[in-house]
Amino acid sequence: MSKVYTFDEIEQHNTRDDLWLVIEGKVYDCSNYIDEHPGGEEVIVDCAGTDATEAFEDIGHSEDARDILKGLHIGDLDPSSKPTTSSKSNSSTDDSSATNPIFLIIAAVVALAAAAYFVLNK
């Protein structure tokens, strides 16, 4: 059985050197993956300590990206837990990077480049 974390615990891991994300109710420790992230570190650091499901899905990550997540999985989100602070990825009233069209275009280009890289290097 996976360890279960609350948002209080997850929100404490919000820096480049100690970075946790929630994606689809699962908790991932991405601290050691930042330098390898094809979209650059800023994209992933901006979501540190939050539920990054929307940002992750908006980019349309490949199956390879989802396989990488399996290796970063450290537990699950307590379903009764709620964020204690305003989450960047969940806010629908601000102009967050997850809803900025320029961000989406850049992210799509990066995702396509990463997919091409993986296909050409198989």
**Average pLDDT across the chain, whole number:** 83
Sign for the pseudo-dihedral over CA of 26, 62, 46, 41: positive
Determine if the pTM surpasses 0.85: no
Question: Given a cut of 50, is residue 88 above it in pLDDT?
Answer: no
Which CATH homologous superfamily contains domain 4-120?
Answer: Cytochrome b5-like heme/steroid binding domain (3.10.120.10)
41 and 110 in contact (C-beta within 8 Å)? no
Question: For residue 81, what pLDDT is reported?
Answer: 83
60 and 105 in contact (C-beta within 8 Å)? no
Every domain of the chain and the residues it spans: 4-120
Sign for the pseudo-dihedral over CA of 46, 96, 65, 57: positive
